[in-house]
A and B are shown apart, each in its own frame.
Chain A
Amino acid sequence: MSRLEKLTQGLAFRLSAWTLTAAGLVFVLMSAATYLMAREALLKNAEANARTLAQAIVMRIEARLAPISRVPQGVAYELEDGELSGEPAIFKRQRRVLADNEEIFGMAVAFEPDGSGDQQYAPYTFRSPLGPKTTHLGGPGYRYHNMDWYQIPRELGRMVWSEPYFDEGGGGVLMATCSVPFFTGGDANGTLRHGEDRRVAGVVTADVSLEWLTRLVASVRVLDTGYASLISRNGTYLTHPKSGVAFNETIFSRAEEHDDARLREIGRDMLRGGSRFIPYTSRHTGKPGFLTYMPLPTMGWSLAVFSPRDELLADVQRQALVTAALGGGGFLLLAALIGLLARTVTRPLGRLAAAACEVAGGNLEARLPETASRDEVGELTASFAHMQTSLRDYIRDLTQATASRERMESELRIAHDIQMGILPKLFPPLPDRHEIDLYASLSPAREVGGDFYDFFPVGRDQFCFLVGDVSGKGVPAAFYMAVAKTLLKSVAESAAGAGQRRTDDRGGERAVAAAETAAAAPPRRGPEPARILGRVNDDLAKDNDSCMFVTIFCAVLDMNTGELRFASAGHNPPLILRRGAAPEYLPAPGDPVAGALPGVTYTSGALTLASGDAILLYTDGVTEAMNPAQELLGEPRLLELAAGADGLDARGLCERLAEGVQAFAAGADQSDDITLLVLRFRGADGTTPDDTPAA
């Protein structure tokens, strides 16, 4: 795996990655929450702050205007009280006003014209570069009686401020005129004496310069790009951050121009004297923000203050940025620390893993990493070391056990060779006797087993052959087998010898009677199988604590006559294969197995073989051979396998049967020894009708 893959799959990496992800998430959430909460708090404050600012501006303006409006009001009262009579007094008063109030540019006292209105009397004092100058207003071209500054206060009967205007005559200065009517009749409170009328006697005006106003409003600092703007009683912009707007546009004309119904609504509300704090996007700067507006009571004007939202929130955003930067830095630091920590933890694990790998590869002496820590890694290392030791011990024991097993197996192999060695394997057994054709095979299930066969001559024309099967398997059966086989041969041969001697003994007696009854001379007989088995049984049964026993089928063939005498000790019935006939089982006499209990008498059986007939001896390893389907071969199948064997010699038949058993077993394990012995009688002359004519 590539280095990158290895890294990303490592514990350290995963540990770090997850921790950092979680920490990062927590940090982001906290920052977001803090920012949002701060912003909310700030926006709440924004309204209060904007109001406060607007109020402050309003109060400053009012503070300058209010006193001014009291001046013409004072003069009006003096006129009513008759304190100012005569032109000199009026001019003097006007001059004093100008001297005391630098914002007042000029003051006029315009008297109500008589009757036709031709009599206009309006003394007027104004500032000029050279000092106060006096004049009279009114003339043919200037009928002040019809002017707004005279008519409106006269009609309303109270102080009226005019709309601001530019005074061309005074050098283009922004002005407004404060007009206060004065009355005749009635006292100062306007209380009329009985039968008197209260009439307007005239109007006192003060022309006020508003230059300071523009400067004041313009100088208002609202954050960075925020601004204040003033509109007059009819909506005309008195001040506006955009040059050229003031006095040229009204709030309504601007609304119309931009098709901004909202602005129109705001304008109407402002003129109504409304005072609100609303979200608003500035037409001037294009920025979204908030608009606060409130009225100036004295003039009937309205002030609007615009605070851009982003600047309002600038502090919060700055704070958020700082937090983010700090958090980012802290995060990186955390990442480094966690990475380091994870590595510290996993490095011993990594070393242990490497050592484990080495051990797994076969190096049991590999050194495990030293670990002093008592944490889980330390425990793991200790356990692993323990495991390593156990493994070493186990392998050592296993090696020893294997060595001793191999020793035993080699001994068993030698035992097998010895056991096979004691079985006769010379075929044909009697090379110069053609009366018999014999073959035998034995395949043990294990290295050593309990099956055996034997064949040997017992006299000049007698041939003994047998098959045996010891109960059980393995070494015990092998011992018993060796004893039984040896015993059988020795008993058979000694019986043969005794019989021979007996025959010889009688020879002398018979010679006398020979002439009398030649035919009465008893023929030479071989040993009697039944008697052989009886003696062997007695020998085996004594001192048989292990209670093992052996089945035997023993037969003696007279090679001259074909007479076969036999006896069976609990053994499988042999197959008789008569030439030209189907194979048949020889009926079993049911005599007991040999070696169990002493004193058994065995039954003798006899039959005569014709030339070409054969007999097959076998053990239950053949009939009880099992295939993978757990079926036994059985006696019927053996019968089938042995059929049609006339043309075969003993060896051929043996091999065919062995192959048949193997084919049936079809690969299943061989559970018992398989022994086969075939003897074909070829007649006294050694030929059978099946032989092909000699060339």
Chain B
Amino acid sequence: MEFTNEKCGAFLVLVISGRMDTLTAREFDAEADKWIKAGEKRLVLDLAQLAYISSAGLRSILAAAKQLKAVGGDLAFCGLSGLVAEVFTVSGFAKLLPVFATREEALARA
């Protein structure tokens, strides 16, 4: 899994590419932890390059969301498509956490 990041105002956009499964989920844990410890509060995950996500990946995302909530921040998503979008829908994560169609929409929030 690979991460690239971009600071856009108050938001930190993290582009994730590859697969998030049992083996790679901990890489996301470490990456999110790093940014949260660095003081970032508003994270936007751009999942356009993510090919696959399993329940282990969902757990990692949930953990990151709870961590951000605890420091008064939030976690949002954009660029979902294909299998990843389906998983978000079926698991109801799309209703739990804010999901936007495009990055611009995600960044347009207050």
Contacts and interface: CB of A to CB of B under 8 A. Distances in A.
Interface string B81-110: 000000001111111100000000000000
B58 interface: yes
Contact of A596 (B56, B90, B96): B96
B95 A592 contact: yes
A572 B89 CA distance: 11
B5 interface: no
Contacts of B55: 471-472
B53 to A, nearest CB: 12
Given A472-B59, A547-B59, A547-B62, A592 B92 contact: yes
A592 B96 contact: yes
B71 to A, nearest CB: 16
Contact of B59 (A549, A588, A592): A549
Interface in A536-593: 546-549, 551, 569-570, 572, 588, 590-593
B63 interface: yes
Nearest to A591: B92
Contacts of B65: 597
A593 B91 contact: yes
B59 A570 contact: no
B89 A590 contact: yes
A551 B91 contact: yes
Contacts of A570: 90-93
A502 B12 CA distance: 52
Contacts of A596: 62, 93, 96
Contacts of B95: 590-592, 600
User: Which of B55, B58, B90, B95 lies at the interface centre, i.e. has the most chain A CB atoms within 10 A of its CB?
Assistant: B55
A569 B91 CA distance: 7
B92 A471 contact: no
B34 interface: no
B26 interface: no
B7 interface: no
Nearest to B95: A592
Nearest to B91: A570
B93 A471 contact: no
A590 B92 contact: yes
Contacts of A590: 89-90, 92, 94-95
A509 B96 CA distance: 42
Interface in A616-663: none
A7 B81 CA distance: 76
A549 B61 CA distance: 12
A588 B90 CA distance: 7
B90 to A, nearest CB: 6
A472 B56 contact: yes
The range of chain B's interface size is 10 to 19
B59 A569 contact: no
Contact of A471 (B58, B90, B96): B58
A533 to B, nearest CB: 11
A549 B90 contact: no
A600 B91 CA distance: 13
Interface string A159-170: 000000000000
Nearest to B69: A597
Contacts of B66: 547, 597
A471 B89 contact: no
A475 to B, nearest CB: 15
Contacts of B90: 570, 572, 588, 590
A591 B89 CA distance: 8
Interface string A464-476: 0000000110000
Interface string A586-618: 001011110011001000000000000000000
A600 B63 CA distance: 17
A129 to B, nearest CB: 142
A551 B55 CA distance: 11
A547 B55 CA distance: 11
A103 B56 CA distance: 141
B96 A597 contact: yes
Nearest to B59: A547
B9 to A, nearest CB: 26
B89 A549 contact: no
A569 B93 CA distance: 10
A597 B65 CA distance: 10
Interface in B22-65: 55-56, 58-60, 62-63, 65
A590 B60 CA distance: 20
A597 B63 CA distance: 10
A548 B91 CA distance: 13
Contacts of A472: 55-56, 59
Contacts of A471: 55-56, 58-59
A536 to B, nearest CB: 14
B28 to A, nearest CB: 13
Contacts of B60: 547
A278 B94 CA distance: 122
A572 B55 CA distance: 14
Contact of B96 (A546, A572, A588, A600): A600
20 contacts: A471-B56, A472-B55, A546-B59, A547-B60, A547-B63, A549-B58, A549-B59, A551-B91, A570-B92, A590-B90, A590-B92, A590-B95, A592-B91, A592-B93, A592-B95, A593-B93, A597-B66, A597-B96, A600-B92, A600-B96
Given A472-B56, A549-B59, A596-B93, 6 more contacts: A570-B91, A590-B90, A590-B95, A592-B95, A596-B62, A600-B95
A-B CB proximity, top 4 nearest? A592-B92, A471-B55, A570-B91, A570-B92
Interface of B: 55-56, 58-60, 62-63, 65-66, 89-96
Interface of A: 471-472, 546-549, 551, 569-570, 572, 588, 590-593, 596-597, 600
